[in-house]
Each structure stands twice: as structure tokens, then as C-alpha cells.
Amino acid sequence: MSTPFPFTAVVGQDDLRLALLLNAVSPAVGGVLVRGEKGTAKSTAVRALSALLPEVDVVSGCRFSCDPGAPDPACPDGPHEAGTGTARPARMVELPVGASEDRLVGALDIERALAEGVKAFEPGLLADAHRGILYVDEVNLLHDHLVDLLLDAAAMGASYVEREGVSVRHAARFLLVGTMNPEEGELRPQLLDRFGLTVEVAASREPDQRVEVVRRRLAYDDDPEGFAARWADEEAAVRARIVAARELLPSVRLGDGALRQIAATCAAFEVDGMRADIVMARTATALAAWAGRAEVLAEDVRQAALLALPHRRRRNPFDAPGLDEDKLDETLEEFGGSEDGDPDPDPGPDGPGGGGGQPAPDEGPQGGDSAARPEAGEGEGDEPQSSVGGGEQAPVRAAEPFRTKVLSVPGLGEGAAGRRSRARTEHGRTTGARRPRGALSKLHLAATVQAAAPHQRARGRTGSGLLLRRDDLRQAVREGHESNLVLFVVDASGSMAARQRMGAVKGAVLSLLLDAYQRRDKVGLVTFRGSAGEVALPPTSSVDAAAARLESLPTGGRTPLAAGLLKAHDVLRVERLRDPARRALVVVVTDGRATGGPQPVELAGRAARLFAAEGIASVVVDCESGPVRLGLAAQLAGELGGTAVALDELRAESIAGLVKDMQQGNSRRAA
């Protein structure tokens, strides 16, 4: 086993270390979500924590790590007699992003359960992590149904595996730690709320602190065992402090004054539900125990709020997490009583790392658009050329977002689970049955019985009951929904800026981005203006990043529609190589005008027909306004093989079959 990097040698990252230690003291806090850019010691700190946890006593031979002093009466390997067990180090189990449901919760052999009447159960990662640490790197990239299972187990302290009436339950209490890079996408607010604490980490911009990070890392890489030995005393001190805090925790008093401050703080920041109050109470109690005190003070409440509330305040995916500390201090002062203390958080005399006094620096020019398709005539006024910046105008603020009509890809896909287009999935309504390919996971009971029934006499079965063989088993075929790549192709030319339409256009795209976030899509952004198309944002799971790029989008110049479409086509070609199962939906936001260069209209039509020929689903959001409308966007939609929807008609609860008029060949290909 490799020597882990010492926890006390992590440079800076005080909030991260404190949050991890509080969960080590009191697992009831509910785990921690670590958000931050890559290369900020997130994984290093989590792996280092496992070496600090005290050893656990387990029943010898039990695959579920039962405590010999109080064995689980429902343990699948039980029943166990209470008594002495075997001591072993606390485990840290890592959940890979690509793990299956069976790997997480365990695999139940349905074939043996039906044919032999036995519960043959192979434990999963939740059983391995019992009484230890379950670490999920890049938790925001984990499939939603796996995150649901994970957080349900963490909340209930048990894992349930149920298939076709066969049920297995085992204890699953662990310290849950998730890390994520917000640039790669956000968790749903409902899932954010299930993590007890959250911390934001970032690399220090101070050269001296960065030097210390590099110095320690190089020393560790050269001689891991020697480096760990030099930090052994500090590690032992923190380990002893965790044990002492655990022993003190049951006797820590959470007075009415502190409870009132907790409730007032959650109410002041308009946090939904009561989970925040409970988590704050548990965190403040753990903070007091970590500091060696038997009573919760105002400083504990303040620090608990900074760790437990920021991720619960997000009202939509574009809100940055955080807490107004001035408002927090005012609330604590207003509702403080005799239990008030120094509002400055101080977890203890040795700091959050418990480093025994060891110092540690923080780690941490073109004119306005003419009448678009030239042969169409003068439909709208041109944007006059500015004397500065070649016609470019300052970014326009987006209008308020709204609920949009549902845009979907026709046919039946097999991409990543989501909420947009129909797809064959592991979860959803049962639509049929087939022979299993590999291990059987979802049994179709009726089809299995139907397949076995004609052979009962030949198998010698004359009485009641049913004799099953492997060839009789049928796998359920399920249909649910998948997420898609929604590629926005936005016209940012001068004609779009005319009559102040860009604010409404940005508001519409922002609304569609919100819809993409809720449906778990990837998004990309291509813009075109002047003389070229530009990839403003390559396909990503971070809708926040797309919203930020949209907000700063400049406008002005001619309308190179063909260049924008060709750029989008290139983006889709590359993305198909990276993620061939994810289908694309192209949303072109334009008034349909095409100017600039030779034969702009002919080139735009030719580029659009590439999408139709490849069966790429597309929708044109028609941004044309005014009493005289040329219908150019509808013409573009026809060439794309898609459908047009007016900008002022995009606001709705649903739209049935918006892209059902796709070419018949496209529907056959998608199915």
C-alpha cells in the first residue's frame, strides 16, 4: 500500500481541512462537497484524512464490516454473536465516475434467487465504505440516479437492493466526500442540499506560498516514507485530537441561545427546508468538541453557517455560492444572548490542521448589416457603422429568463440519462423484453414466465410451481429520457442589435440554458458576426460558463450566416468522435438574414443543407420583428430540415412535436 501524503503537510486550505475533520469527529454532519479548480489538493486532502481515522473493530469474516460490539441483526452475512473482533484501519473507498449501479450498491443474482431460492448477494462499494470514507471524485459528472442512491444511503445509514420482490439490506454509514470542478457542470440544487458542508478551494496567487506547495510535493515524491516520517508527530497529534473530540461530543451542550441564532441565520438567508438548521446544529456541536469545549458558542454558529449555508442559497444555477458575512454578523448580534462569543472563527489553538504549531502557508470593422438575403429587399433598417470599433457595440444585458417550450430530438436514442429526448435507458417505463446480454439486471417477470411455461411438462414438472432455466430469463427493455448536446448558434450581427432586440434574444437563450441545466444537457455556444463564426464556448456540462459567455457577447457588423453554420457543423463533427452516443440539437437564434462576402444567401443555404443531409435535429428561433417580416428564418429552418419558432412564441409550458417534421430518413437513423 502506498504511503499517503500527510494530512498536516497540506499547505493552507484551512476550510477544507476543517470541514473534513468535523466530519471525522461527527459523521452525522453529513459529508462535505469540495468545489474548486483543478490542482488545488482536493483529492490529496481527502486521501490523507483516511490515515488519521482511528482503527475500527470488525467481525472476522464479515463482508459488511459489522461492529462486534453491536452487530447488525439484518447483516446478510449474519447473524453474528456479539464479542471481540479484528481491528483494521478505516477504509477509503473511491467511486469511479463510470461505475454501474451494481458496482455501487451490490449485485443480486436474480437467476439463483428464482431458480434455487437463495439470496446470492455480492456487496458493492457502499458495503466496502461502511464505517469508513466514501470518496467520489468529480461527483457532478456522476449519473443522477447513482447520486440519488448514494445520498439516500448516506442519509439513511443503510443500502437497499430490491429486484422483483427479492430484497437485501445492509448497514452503510460512511463519511461522504465529493469533489467537483464547477467548470464541468453543477449539481442539481436538490443534491447540493444533501451534502452537509461545502467548501470552495483555490490555488494561492502568492509566490512564496506556491513555492512551499511545490517544495513539499517534490520532497514527498522523492521519498514518500521519509517525508511521512517527518510529519508523524503532527499526524499523531491530530489523530489523538479526533479521538478526544469524539469522546467529548456527546456531552457538548447546544443551548437555546445558540439554537435561536442558528434558526435566525437560516431564516435570514431564506434557506429552504429544515435540513440547514439541523446540519448547522450538528456542525456547531462538532466545532465545540474539536476546540475542546463542552458548550457551543456564537463563534461556532458563525463558522457552521459559513460551511453549511453557501451551497443552499443558490436560487438558480447561475447564482454563485457564497454568504454575505456582514449580514451574518448582524443576525448573530441581533439574536445573540449570554452565549455570544468572539465572532471570528478559531477552531482551536493549533488551527484546523492540528499541526502542533507547525506553520503552513496557504495553498493553497465592419459596417452595419445591410438587408439580409439581398434579393429579399429592405426588410429592416441597418445598424449604422460606429466610428469606434468597426461597428461593434457594447454588450447588452439579458432580459429576465422564463420557462420555455420543450425542444427535443426525434427518434429513440441511447445516450446519457437526462430529461430531454426519448431513449432506451436502465431506468424508465418497461416497453418490452429481450434475452439478457451478459448479466441479468432488470428481470421482465411476465415474459420470463411466458417463456418457461410451454416447457414444464418436458422438464418433468407436473405439480404447482414453475421450473426455470437460464434460457427462460428475459431482460426488461425500458424507455426513459436522455440528455443531449444543445448547441446554440447565435447571430450577433448588427441587424440583431437593431431596435434593441439583443436583450430579448439573450433572455431567450438564457431561458433555454436554464432548461438545458434542468434536463442535464451539455451545451455549446457558437456566434457569428462581422466576417466569421466563432466558438464562444466548446461543448461543456457547465451551463454557468455558457451564461457568462452569453452575458459578455458583443454585437455588430455583418451577418456571416454560412460561416456560423459551418463552424457549428465542425463542432458537432468533433463532438461525435468524443461522445458518439449523445445526440445533438442545434438551436439557431437569428432573423435569417445573410450578408457579407460573395453569394451569402447561396452559401448559407448550402451550409444548412449539410445539417439536413446528416439528419441533425435543429430549431430556428426567429428573431425578426417589426410590422414587415420577410420569413427568412422559416426558409432557413426548411433548408436545415428543422422547424422555426418565433422569439415571442418561445415562452410556453410545452410544445408537442416541435421537430417531428424532420426528414423521414433522420427518424429512421435516430431510432
pLDDT tens for 69-85 read 888 888 888 888 888 78
Which range is most confident: 119-133, 323-337, 341-355, 567-581?
567-581
pLDDT band at 393 (very low <50, low <70, confident <90, very high): low
Rg of the chain's alpha carbons, rounded to an integer? 30
Cα separations (Å) of 181 from 56, 336, 523? Answer: 32, 37, 16
- Higher-scoring residue by pLDDT: 148, 387: 148
pLDDT, residue 292, reads 95
Residue 240 is placed in which grid cell?
A: 489523538
Summarize pLDDT for 401-428 with one digit per residue, the tens. 888 888 989 998 988 888 889 888 877 7
Q: Is the pLDDT of residue 547 over 60?
A: yes
- Higher-scoring residue by pLDDT: 97, 86: 86
Residues 6+ apart with CB under 8 A from 560: 493, 528, 529, 530, 531, 532, 533, 594, 595, 596, 597, 600
Assign residue 597 a region (left: φ > 0; alpha: ψ between -120 and 50; beta: otherwise). Answer: left
Cα separations (Å) of 290 from 207, 224, 350, 541? Answer: 32, 29, 11, 38
Mean pLDDT of all residues in 138-155: 81
Instruction: Determine the angle formed by the axes of helices 600-613 and 632-640, rounding to 10 degrees.
Output: 40
- Block residue for cell numbers 429579399: 376
pLDDT band at 377 (very low <50, low <70, confident <90, very high): very low
Instruction: Determine the angle formed by the axes of helices 232-248 and 14-25, rounding to 10 degrees.
Output: 50
- Higher-scoring residue by pLDDT: 500, 61: 61
Can you give the residue ranges of every domain in the chain?
Answer: 396-413+483-670, 424-481
Mean pLDDT of all residues in 145-161: 84
Summarize pLDDT for 470-490 with one digit per residue, the tens. 788 888 888 888 889 999 999
Q: How is 299-362 classified by DSSP, letter by letter?
A: HHHHHHHHHHSGGG--SSTTSPP---HHHHHHHHHHT--TT---SS----TTTTTT-TT-----
Q: Is the pLDDT of residue 372 over 50?
A: no
d(CA 216, CA 173): 34
Q: How does the average pLDDT of the chain come out, rounded?
A: 81
pLDDT, residue 18, reads 94
Which H helix or E strand runs over 605?
helix 600-613
- Higher-scoring residue by pLDDT: 320, 368: 320
Q: How is 393-451 classified by DSSP, letter by letter?
A: BPPPPPPPP-PBPP----S-B--SEEEEEEEEESSSEEEEEE--SSS--SB-HHHHHHH
Residues annotated as catalytic are 275
pLDDT band at 394 (very low <50, low <70, confident <90, very high): low
Instruction: Determine the angle formed by the axes of helices 14-25 and 298-308, rounding to 10 degrees.
Output: 100
Q: Determine phi and psi for 245, rounding to 5 degrees.
A: -65, -40
Summarize pLDDT for 308-336 with one digit per residue, the tens. 999 887 656 666 667 888 999 999 998 88
Candidate from 350-364, 473-487, 490-504 with smallest mean pLDDT: 350-364
% of the chain residues with pLDDT over 70? 83
Mean pLDDT of all residues in 296-302: 94
Strand 107-108 to 56-58 pairing: unpaired
- Higher-scoring residue by pLDDT: 73, 668: 73
d(CA 68, CA 264): 43
Cα separations (Å) of 46 from 33, 102, 129, 187, 278? Answer: 11, 25, 14, 20, 24
pLDDT, residue 426, reads 75
DSSP strands (E only) in 172-255? 175-180, 197-201
Amino acid at 548: A
Q: Note the pTM of the prediction, 2 decimals.
A: 0.69
pLDDT, residue 449, reads 81
Candidate from 24-38, 288-302, 426-440, 549-563 with smallest mean pLDDT: 426-440
d(CA 50, CA 61): 22
**Fold held by 396-413+483-670:** Rossmann fold (3.40.50)
Mean pLDDT of all residues in 605-609: 95
Summarize pLDDT for 449-472 with one digit per residue, the tens. 888 888 887 887 766 667 778 788
Amino acid at 569: H
The helix/strand/coil state of 574 is helix
Candidate from 102-116, 196-210, 259-273, 634-648 with smallest mean pLDDT: 102-116
Q: Is the pLDDT of residue 663 over 50?
A: no
Amino acid at 618: S
pLDDT, residue 233, reads 93
- What count of residues does the chain have? 671
Cα separations (Å) of 543 from 320, 510, 519? Answer: 12, 10, 11
Mapping DSSP onto H, E and C, the string for 110-149 reads: HHHHHHCCCCCEECCHHHHCCCCEEEEECHHHCCHHHHHH
Mean pLDDT of all residues in 120-128: 87
Residues 6+ apart with CB under 8 A from 378: 371
Q: Is the pLDDT of residue 580 over 60?
A: yes
DSSP state letter for 295: B
- Higher-scoring residue by pLDDT: 583, 175: 583
- Quick one: CA torsion of 647, 649, 654, 660, rounded to 10 degrees? -70
